């Protein structure tokens, strides 16, 4: 056992990206974190003492362009609630995805924020011993410390995932104070006699007593999860990236903005440092004061200087172009951040701008954000599918779809008329009509196709209406009545 690498061994790709992740995290945290990082983001000027450097750093301010951009992207996607399709018997999974009452939409927002920020996230589907339903738990990139894929039966299969977790407990010597320790949850596919592999979970904790030869001890016995008595032959852990849903580490979508944000901060510090020493006029004396100590000069309306005969005085003022160049550089960096995603920093165009023009100006970000929305939807769909299956449902019956309509552009009344006319003539099927009505903000965001079909059948039965006719719901029936009865 002593020849094995410890359980907290980092994957080589993890090691290659961990400094990038730290940089992104600190920029997202803002000014306090950037200042605390010191010379990592603000190199010391030549000859500066520790006190001088502290004053130099304190003069600058950090602009939260990156965090505002991430907030804007997440807000654009969640401008409309995600569409969660589940069999009726498993609808409770959407309301409580982690077993602690957290809705699936909240987990989806956390996943999206991580992928927009870092470009990587993971979700584990699990079920407690004797439990009746599955749950999902999310892991940030820094906590997915190791993984391995192998080719089995001609395809790449995930055979190992190591997850770092944190366990908080009371100190042995003081019950009012707690301590946090790292644990490592190892998900592995282990060979079984006769062929095949079983999914196994093993939890490790650091060996404080030195009993093991590799620094860690197991917490309890290894667990072999099962679905209705049958062991699993796969690891129910889903990677989600900015570009795909594989274990490959994707580049952060905002990394260019992060670097531009740091450069803008450095220029701001230099500009304010220069202004501190040059902005205020400085009195100059050519000669000497009569009977005065030149090291204790004061200036102001309550002070009079007596100069020796022939002495002259004046005010020294800065007139060079150095600070102007710094201001120009800072403005250029501001524009760079705007191009890279921080639209809140752009100078707004004068007058009213057509909605189509706004969409065109944001097309680059839209395409990136739409792609991220697609990958998060795909990853969450697989997670929800596993949850439904493990909770007793059928595979392929669950789906999550995040919004890709990032701007408020409701379908016009004339477009609705054309859509319904085309439907009545048989030019469109009901699914096309439904998707256009919901995408055009003419139906509730949480209304599923099945809800809409049921509402149509209720109205047609109770009122004799044709498709597209404006009729009332039957008393106690239809989508609105169901929402009221469910407290919606």
pLDDT tens per residue, range 193-233: 888 899 999 999 887 665 655 678 888 899 999 888 889 99
Which residues contact residue 218 at a Cβ distance below 8 angstroms, ignoring those fewer than 6 apart?
202, 203, 204, 205
Asked if residue 473 has pLDDT above 80, the reply is: no
Q: For position 60, what pLDDT does the model report?
A: 81
Measure the N-to-C terminal CA separation of the chain; round to a whole number of Å.
57
Q: For position 364, what pLDDT does the model report?
A: 43
Of 388 and 22, the structure prediction assigns the larger pLDDT to 22
45: left (phi over 0), alpha (psi -120 to 50) or beta: beta
Q: What is the mean pLDDT of residues 111-136?
A: 89
DSSP secondary structure letters along 91-133: THHHH-SSSSS--HHHHHHHHHHHHHHTSEEEEEEE--TT-SS
Kindly indicate the confidence band of residue 486, based on its pLDDT and cuts at 50, 70 and 90. very low
Asked if residue 329 has pLDDT above 80, the reply is: no
pLDDT tens per residue, range 137-146: 999 999 999 9
396: left (phi over 0), alpha (psi -120 to 50) or beta: left
Whether the Cβ atoms of residue 134 and residue 140 lie closer than 8 Å to each other: no
Calculate the alpha carbon distances from 267 to 26, 210, 218 in Å.
18, 50, 51
Q: What is the mean pLDDT of residues 165-190?
A: 82
Q: What is the mean pLDDT of residues 7-11?
A: 92
Kindly indicate the confidence band of residue 180, based on its pLDDT and cuts at 50, 70 and 90. confident
Collapsing DSSP states into helix, strand and coil, what is residue 431?
A: helix
Whether the Cβ atoms of residue 479 and residue 437 lie closer than 8 Å to each other: no
Whether the Cβ atoms of residue 278 and residue 323 lie closer than 8 Å to each other: yes
pLDDT tens per residue, range 330-373: 565 555 555 555 343 233 444 444 444 444 444 444 568 888 99
Q: Where are the beta strands (DSSP E) in 243-305?
A: 282-286
Q: For position 331, what pLDDT does the model report?
A: 60
Q: What is the mean pLDDT of residues 82-98?
A: 84
Q: For position 361, what pLDDT does the model report?
A: 40
Whether the Cβ atoms of residue 123 and residue 238 lie closer than 8 Å to each other: yes
Is 0.85 surpassed by the pTM of this model?
Answer: no
Asked if residue 16 has pLDDT above 60, the reply is: yes
d(CA 51, CA 276): 16
Calculate the alpha carbon distances from 365 to 193, 373, 374, 426 in Å.
52, 12, 14, 37
216-225, 226-235, 384-393, 448-457: least confident range: 448-457
- Percent of the chain surpassing pLDDT 70: 69
Asked if residue 381 has pLDDT above 90, the reply is: yes
Collapsing DSSP states into helix, strand and coil, what is residue 461?
A: helix
**15-29, 164-178, 329-343, 421-435: which is most confident:** 15-29
Q: For position 485, what pLDDT does the model report?
A: 38
d(CA 338, CA 344): 7
300-314, 437-451, 463-477: least confident range: 463-477
For CA atoms 210, 213, 214, 220, the dihedral sign is negative
79-88, 109-118, 326-335, 471-480: least confident range: 471-480
Q: For position 360, what pLDDT does the model report?
A: 40
Of 357 and 105, the structure prediction assigns the larger pLDDT to 105
Q: Comparing C-alpha atoms, which of 443, 483, 386, 397 is closest to residue 88?
A: 397
């Amino acid at each position: 056992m002593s020849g094995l690498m410890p359980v907290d061994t980092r994957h080589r790709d993890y090691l290659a990206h961990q400094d990038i992740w730290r940089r992104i995290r600190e920029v997202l945290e803002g000014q306090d974190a950037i200042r605390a990082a010191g010379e990592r983001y603000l190199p010391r000027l030549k000859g500066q003492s520790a006190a001088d450097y502290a004053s130099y750093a304190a003069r600058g301010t950090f602009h939260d362009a990156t965090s505002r951009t991430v907030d804007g992207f997440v807000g654009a996607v969640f401008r409309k609630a995600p569409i969660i399709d589940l069999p009726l018997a498993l609808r409770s999974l959407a309301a409580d995805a982690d077993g602690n009452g957290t809705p699936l939409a909240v987990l989806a927002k956390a996943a999206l924020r991580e992928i927009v920020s870092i470009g990587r996230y993971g979700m584990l589907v699990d079920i407690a011993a004797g439990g009746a339903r599955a749950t999902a738990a999310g892991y940030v990139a820094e906590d997915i410390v190791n993984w391995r894929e192998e080719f089995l039966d001609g395809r790449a299969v995930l055979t190992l995932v190591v997850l770092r977790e944190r366990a908080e407990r009371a100190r042995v010597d003081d019950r009012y104070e707690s301590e946090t320790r790292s644990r490592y949850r190892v998900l592995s596919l282990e060979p079984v006699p006769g062929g095949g592999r079983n999914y196994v979970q093993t939890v490790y904790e650091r060996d404080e007593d030195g009993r093991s030869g590799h620094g860690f001890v197991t917490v309890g016995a290894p667990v072999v999860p099962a679905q209705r008595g049958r062991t699993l032959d796969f690891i129910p852990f889903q990677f989600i990236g900015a570009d795909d849903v594989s274990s490959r580490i994707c580049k952060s979508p905002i990394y260019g903005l992060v670097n531009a944000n740091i450069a803008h901060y450095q220029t701001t510090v230099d500009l304010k440092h220069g202004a501190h020493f040059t902005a205020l006029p400085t009195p100059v004396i050519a000669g000497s004061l009569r009977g005065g100590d030149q090291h204790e000069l004061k200036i102001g309306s309550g002070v009079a200087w007596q100069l020796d005969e022939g002495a002259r005085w004046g005010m020294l003022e800065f007139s060079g172009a150095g600070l102007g160049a710094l201001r120009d550089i800072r403005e250029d960096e501001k524009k760079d951040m705007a191009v890279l995603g921080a639209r809140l920093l752009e100078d707004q165009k004068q007058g009213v701008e057509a909605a189509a023009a706004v969409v065109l100006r944001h097309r680059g970000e839209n395409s990136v954000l739409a792609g991220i929305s697609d990958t998060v939807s795909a990853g969450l769909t697989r997670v929800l599918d596993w949850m439904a299956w493990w909770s007793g449902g059928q595979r392929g019956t669950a789906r999550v779809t995040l919004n890709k309509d990032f701007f408020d552009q409701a379908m016009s009344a004339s477009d609705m008329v054309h859509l319904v006319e085309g439907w009545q003539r048989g030019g469109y099927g009901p699914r096309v009509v439904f998707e256009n009505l919901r995408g055009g903000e003419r139906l509730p965001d949480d209304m599923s196709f099945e809800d809409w079909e049921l509402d149509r059948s209720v109205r047609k039965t109770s009122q004799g209406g044709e498709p597209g006719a404006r009729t009332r719901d039957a008393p106690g029936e239809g989508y609105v009545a169901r929402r009221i009865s469910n407290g919606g």
